[in-house]
Structure formats: structure tokens, C-alpha cells
Amino acid sequence: TLYPKRLPLMTQIEGKNENISQKKLIFNKITKRSIESLGKTQGRLVILGSGWAGFKLLRDLNKEHYEAIVISPRNYFVFTPLLASSSVGTLEFRCIMEPIRKYSPNIQYYQAYADKIDFKNQVIHCTSNLELSKNKFSIPYDTLVIAVGANSNTFGIKGVGDHALFLKDVSDARKIRQRVIECFEHASQPSMSEEEIIGLLHFAVVGGGPTGVEFSAELHDFITEDISRLYPRLMNKVTMTVYDVAPQILGSFDVSLRDYATKKFARKGIKIRTNTQVAEVTERKLVIKDNGDVPYGMLVWATGLTDNPFTRSMSDQVLKDQSAKRLLTDEFLRVLSKENNQPIDNVYALGDCATIKDNDLPATAQVANQKAKYLSKALNQIAKDRGSMVRTSPFVFRNLGSMAYIGKKEAVVDLTPVSERAKEGGTIAWLFWRSSYFTMTVSLRNKLLIPMYWLLTWSFGRDISRF
């Protein structure tokens, strides 16, 4: 069904002075008989993506008033902070997934990639990514929310895309788990030379940010607590290295916590190679700039982000930032047109694919979550106050700090943005890390499954079957 075009939801910004908090946005009243006749006063709202931003928005949106459609190539949400745990079997994959359809029968979901947007006619062109069909179809929208995330940035380094593993989705975590076991099985086979075994059992992680550090810590736990019992003969050949071009790991953390994590890693035997640039990756070797080749068995690439093909397709139409190529929005999360630098009617962007012009925020779940909360509130307010003017303030990010697991039941927790002295490293921080993420998990099912798998892992070890 094609809806008639509506009046723009947001039409005017009042008080164009320097103080952002004083700005108020006016939403126009929207009443269209054809839309009301369908029982959805606000028309069709299409959400692209089922990640932190898209899923949160979907949950908080008032579906009585909006005909909500989600388009995403995956029909589930992934709780990424626990993805590293699931990649080594501390948790099972199902513990960190929430099915989109199950969440609300009151929505429509299409498993597909959005390919292109026709902003003029308010239509999205999509291609389904089902095994059975690669259907092409188009969906008209009244309001569009772009929350398609971002891709891992390989910085154009030769061989990374072909040979490295990434950690963005459950499918990546599954590949990692399989590869670790495969390296050990391969190294245990007869006729392997010492040199080959050492190469196979070198686990390399590129990227010393929270994702790279947490993954290295989880992998180290897995190898020392579970693999070591099954392949004791090989343990003295295992090495792990974290590479980063920056001078320190966990660059966004307080300096004392960075030092703490670095010392802990050194004590565990995880090598940290900072100020180091990977120049090329081949099937079995890393080529380090000015330092020769290093063989590896598994390479996990956990560096920065870049645009995905969909956001790249918009480069001629919308404003983007130069570094991570994210869509630029105003402080009301409206996408800015390249033609006139003005917001495009009823099109919003949030999460890793977008950033606010002149107010760059980190690409984290925390930011995505807060933006989704803000936008759902604004959109619900429009629905509630139909017929009257609706006012809202610009989005303001509240930094709640950051945390990272560093292995052996220890974590670093940096809450200095909230309170100057609130930082902690060690077991208490780990308890805080676990309980915070446990509290944030969405469904009751996963709230039961997660502690159950923690207990199972603690009692019987992690699953090492290769499937």
C-alpha cells in the first residue's frame, strides 16, 4: 500500500541561539484521513536494522499509532557486550540473541538488506537475503529510521578481508570458536613440524580497544582453563598477541586502568605490540611494517568502523563525516541533505551508522541505546499529542562510563565521566561488569539462561566440540 505523502513531522527549530539546551523543536500536527482509516494515526514507520539502535526503538515505539516495519538481514538482535564470551563458549549463542518477531506480533519484519533510498518518493529498495530467494522489493515509508550499523574497517590493508575473522555477529563468534578448535586439532596431527605447530598456535588480535582486549581475555581463559586439559602437550607452544597502532591499549579508559590491564596481560603471557602497524595479511602470516612476517593460526580483526554498502550508496545525497564515513544528523537525529545541509523530512539516523554534526560521539551501544530512547520518546509524543504542537529538546548524551573484561574474573570499570574517582580494576570490577550486563539483557528467557550457562561453564568447562 502506498501512503499519501504527509506533512513533515518536524518543521521548525525555535530559538536558533548558541545554547543548544534552550533550543526547542516544534513538531507539526499530522492528521491524514487515509492513514487514520488504517487505524495507525502516524502512518508507516520503517526501521532499517535490528541492532542496538533499531531494536531499542522498536521496543519503545508506540505500535498503536505507528505501522512499524523492520527491515534487516538478520531476524534477531545481538547483545554485543557478551559476544566475546559466546565466541569461546563461556555462554551459548542463544543467550545473547533476541528474535525480532517474538518480541512483538504487532510489527512486520522483512529479512532483507536495504539497498537504496529514494528520498523524493519516500521509498526504500531492498533485496532479501534468504537462502531460498534474493527477491527485490520496494517499501514506501512515512517516517524512516536508519540504524544499519557499520562494518569493520580493514583500512584497505591487503588480505584482511580474505583471511582475518571479525567479531560483529553470532556467525562471526561461531567461526572463531570453530577456528580455535581447528588450530589445536591441526597442530595435534602427526607429521606436523615444530615450526608449523608454533605458527598454528599463535592467536593474533589486531585492535587494542575494548573489543580486542575482551576477546583476548576470553580466549586466554578458554585456552588456559579448558583447552589445556585436552591438549596439555601443546600448551608450551601457544602464544597470543594483541597488535595496535596506538601507543597503548584501551585508549579511551583512564590511564591507571590502561596500565592495570597492560600489566595483567603481561603477567598472563599475552604479548602487547603497540605502535605496530600490520601492513599485509596472507593466509598464514601477518606482515608487520618494518618488522617482518609473523605466522598465525587465527587472526581476529577488531579495529575501527567504516560505512557499509548501504550507507555508502547515500554518499551523493546526504552529509557524511570524513573519518568513519558516518551519516551526519542534526541534534534531533535528522539526516542532513548534501544538497542544502538541511534535515531531510522524516528521516532519522542513529547508532554506529550516524553521528551528530559537530558533536562526535563514540560508536557504542550506550550511545545507540540513548539515541533510540530519545527518538522513540519524541515519536511517541507526536502520536500522543496529535492535533497539538509537540515540543522536544535536542539529544544530549549522558556518558555513563565504560567497562572491559580483562580475564581470570577481573575487569576494569571506568566511571570517571560520572564521578571523578569512580574507577576500579580487579574482581570487584568484574562482579560489577557481569551484573551490569546481566541487568541489561532483554528477555526473561535470557535472564534465566545466562546465569545458568555461567554456572555450567564454571562446573563443567566450556564446550569444545567443533560443529
Cα separation, 433 vs 323, in Å, equals 31
**Site for ligand FAD contains 366 (CB under 6 A):** yes
Cβ of residue 125: shortest distance to ligand FAD, in angstroms?
11
Contact map string, positions 63 to 82, toward ligand FAD, x by CB under 6 A: --------xxxx-----xx-
Q: Are the CB atoms for 134 and 127 separated by under 8 Å? A: yes
**Site for ligand FAD contains 199 (CB under 6 A):** no
Cα separation, 462 vs 444, in Å, equals 23
Q: Are the CB atoms for 149 and 72 separated by under 8 Å? A: no
**Site for ligand FAD contains 54 (CB under 6 A):** yes
Contact segment (CB under 6 A) with ligand FAD among 187-195, 358-366, 390-398, 451-459 equals: 358-366
Beta bridge partners of 271: 241
Q: Are the CB atoms for 453 and 95 separated by under 8 Å? A: yes
Give me the residue whose beta carbon is nearest to ligand FAD: 51
Cα 367 to chain centroid, rounded: 11
Cβ of residue 433: shortest distance to ligand FAD, in angstroms?
9
- Cell 533485496 sits at which residue? 127
Q: Are the CB atoms for 231 and 188 separated by under 8 Å? A: yes
**Site for ligand FAD contains 363 (CB under 6 A):** yes
Number of residues forming the site for ligand FAD (CB under 6 A): 33
Can you tell me whether residue 106 is helix, strand or coil? Answer: coil
**Site for ligand FAD contains 310 (CB under 6 A):** yes
Cα separation, 171 vs 207, in Å, equals 20
- CB-wise, 47 or 344, nearer to ligand FAD? 47
Contact segment (CB under 6 A) with ligand FAD among 16-24, 143-151, 181-189, 237-245 equals: 143-151
* Interface residue with ligand FAD, options 365, 383, 449, 456 (CB under 6 A): 365
**Site for ligand FAD contains 217 (CB under 6 A):** no
**Site for ligand FAD contains 84 (CB under 6 A):** yes
Contact segment (CB under 6 A) with ligand FAD among 10-18, 231-239, 360-368, 451-459 equals: 360-368
Residue 325's CB is within 10 A of a number of other CB atoms, namely 18
Backbone angles phi, psi at 359, to 5 degrees: -150, 70
* Interface residue with ligand FAD, options 30, 147, 219, 336 (CB under 6 A): 147
Contact segment (CB under 6 A) with ligand FAD among 129-137, 145-153, 258-266, 380-388 equals: 145-153
* Interface residue with ligand FAD, options 148, 204, 242, 412 (CB under 6 A): 148
- CB-wise, 139 or 278, nearer to ligand FAD? 139
Strands (E), 251-314: 270-273, 278-281, 285-288, 292-295, 298-301, 305-306
26: amino acid identity, one letter: I
Strand bridging mode 76-78 / 67-72 = unpaired
305: amino acid identity, one letter: L
Q: Are the CB atoms for 298 and 204 separated by under 8 Å? A: yes
* Interface residue with ligand FAD, options 207, 351, 407, 425 (CB under 6 A): 351
Contact residues toward ligand FAD (CB under 6 A) are 48-54, 71-74, 80-81, 83-84, 113-114, 147-149, 167-168, 211, 308, 310, 351-353, 363-366, 368
